[in-house]
Structure 1
């Protein structure tokens, strides 16, 4: 009885703030016709937005994992003066929201940014990259790297140095060491962290809202549908498509990893 009383507030919050909104979200597209559910796959504009968002998220995830694995291996296996300060600086962007990250990219590659001023002085013409695919990629990468570096550093700290020493004593080359020692040890972290990075990139709004004036991604498409056009059924259908895709990736990663996806991220 006491257990039920303790669980009642949590159950009420779950019902009121998750189950009811999700049920409403799932049912809303039906009010505009059942074809609304498949609009993201049948309408070229929405399909393009979905494909662009997915391709960008996959690319950012892959590049982030490669860079973070290298940095994490170094920081996790080496001890040197200033290591803690360096790790703190590398993970400092964890405290920045997406809008601030987008602002950083504008300061670097916007119309009045540093790169535009340098190109104007050196080439006579202003070059910008903040408001398209390049700007979004750099912003997503900047946003994702600190999280991945933290995960890989923690995983690298658990590596047994004796295993590496034994492999070297048996004549293992660097690429063999990476394949046979580092890759198996870091694979669970890469799987879990990669799934979380992909899901975060797919649903990122603040950064995209700041920078995506020339390259539309699905969160911005959803925002435009319910804010500018008041098309709530279509916005709900697009939200379902986005949620199902990211949930599917997290589910697959959880099954492949054999543990909750968020544990390493």
Structure 2
């Protein structure tokens, strides 16, 4: 009994060390910092002061919007790529996954080149209409940036799930006279739903905590990662930064926990 128990302890020891060093201790320190002032005062300020509450609300709304749009676009692309074979398909898939190679700062730079003051759209609108259309430094620019790196995660997950679909069910639906929409609604989407929940949760969690893109476009943007950065570095308000960090982590953890129970192991495909 003891001979079998000792190797198990050795196997679990690295997990325990990593969990304590990189999760439990930092979380405990954040809790301590957030309660450094009067108990509950910092958390009440998040609710009562518009700067913090709007930052939290804006971040959640933005993350939900990015997740929904990513799921819609990536599901249609993933199903098309799975069900059709054509020349250059492998190249197209590699191009779709290309954004995963870039850090958030580079993606923010792409958005500036597209919708910045000297971007392509600004120059085109100036030539055609006599005024510059600039959106890179607004929520629209941040939305597009988050969408840029979220879509590949969902596309890869959808393709992996779609390849495992039972073609017999699809053929049975067609033989019974079901339309394309009915097959999609009653067969395809229910089969893909666990993977969509998993990849959607990853999109949401990534959008909630993404910093590099927001930092690049942060002229008029008030999202939670930037608020935490400002409170920590510029205002030296460590209690507020810790409290906001804990709230951000709690929201994303709840999202991932729901996906863990509703989704499948394909959750790891989106990471």
TM-score normalised by structure 1 residue count: 0.95
The reply on whether 1:57 has 2:33 as its aligned counterpart is no
> Counterpart of 1:150?
156
Report how far residue 140 of structure 1 moved. 0.6
Distance 2:265 2:85 in 1: 31
The reply on whether 1:93 has 2:109 as its aligned counterpart is no
Report how far residue 161 of structure 1 moved. 2.2
Distance 2:149 2:45 in 1: 30
Distance 1:30 1:130 in 2: 37
Corresponding residue SS for 1:209:
helix
Residue 220 of structure 1 is aligned with which of 223, 226, 229?
Answer: 226
Residue 35 of structure 2 is aligned with which of 30, 36, 47?
Answer: 30
Task: Kindly provide the CA deviation profile for residues 199-224 of structure 1, in whole angstroms up to 9, marking residues without a partner as x.
Answer: 10000100111113212101100000
Report how far residue 9 of structure 1 moved. 4.3
Residue 249 of structure 1 is aligned with which of 252, 255, 258?
Answer: 255
Report how far residue 105 of structure 1 moved. 0.4
Q: What is the alpha-carbon root mean square deviation over aligned residues?
A: 1.5
CA contact (8 A) 1:28 1:232 kept: yes
Task: Kindly provide the CA deviation profile for residues 214-251 of structure 1, in whole angstroms up to 9, marking residues without a partner as x.
Answer: 12101100000010000001100011111111111111
Distance 2:181 2:168 in 1: 18
Report how far residue 264 of structure 1 moved. 4.4
Distance 2:151 2:161 in 1: 15
Task: Kindly provide the CA deviation profile for residues 100-120 of structure 1, in whole angstroms up to 9, marking residues without a partner as x.
Answer: 111000011101111111111
> Counterpart of 1:75?
81
Q: Judge which range, 56-65 or 114-123, deviates more.
A: 114-123
Corresponding residue SS for 1:111:
coil
CA contact (8 A) 1:253 1:261 kept: no
| Correspondence 1:1-265 to 2 at 5 A | 1-34=6-39, 35-257=41-263, 259-260=264-265, 262-265=267-270
CA contact (8 A) 1:40 1:241 kept: no
CA contact (8 A) 1:196 1:261 kept: no
Corresponding residue SS for 1:137:
helix
Distance 2:90 2:233 in 1: 45
Number of corresponding residues: 264
Corresponding residue SS for 1:145:
helix
Report how far residue 163 of structure 1 moved. 1.7
Distance 1:9 1:164 in 2: 46
Consecutive unaligned residues of structure 1, counting only runs of 5 or more, are none
Report how far residue 261 of structure 1 moved. 6.9
Task: Kindly provide the CA deviation profile for residues 122-178 of structure 1, in whole angstroms up to 9, marking residues without a partner as x.
Answer: 111222110001101110100101111111111111122222121111110122111
